Amino acid sequence: MDGSAGIDDPSIESEFARTYQYIDLYLQQKTDLFLQHYVFEPFDFLFKRIMCLSVVVTLLAAGTLALVIGVILLISTFVPLWAALLISGAVIFASGGIIAYIALSNKIVLKTPTAEMISNGKP
């Protein structure tokens, strides 16, 4: 006697329910992978970069402040303190203006086909 003779074929409803469960499981796995790769990993990467950037900016700001105070005190050995502050402020203001002019004077050109044709000299 055949052992599988007593087992009936699964009904259409049970086949549909099993297919639905497989599709649901597939969609859950794909959604989890999408969230992991395109949402959580980029935010984790950005969070780590922002933390490092905040530490570096804090250290640079503290170093710059100490350097500026040192320069002011150095200049104040030759001239009065108010004059050293005025000289340092003028130098810092002028250097900031020059850096801002250099950084902001270039026009931003996006790499579009029209911009590439213009840069290549084609009308």
- pLDDT tens for each residue of 10-35: 788 889 999 999 999 999 999 988 88
Q: Count the Cβ atoms, other than its own, within 10 Å of residue 110.
A: 6
Domains in the chain: boundaries? 10-75, 80-123
Q: What is the DSSP string of 28-88?
A: HHHHHHHHIIIIIHHHHHHHHHHHHHHHHHHHHHHHHHHHHHHHHHHHTTTS-HHHHHHHH
* CA-to-CA separations, 109 to 23, 32, 79, 104, in angstroms, rounded: 47, 38, 48, 13
Mutual orientation of helices 41-75 and 81-104 as an angle, nearest 10°?
A: 140
pLDDT tens readout for residues 76-113: 899 998 888 888 889 888 988 898 888 888 776 666 66
DSSP state of 9: P
Radius of gyration over alpha carbons of the chain, in Å? 34
Alpha carbons 18 and 11: distance in angstroms, whole number: 11
Q: Name the pTM for this structure.
A: 0.48
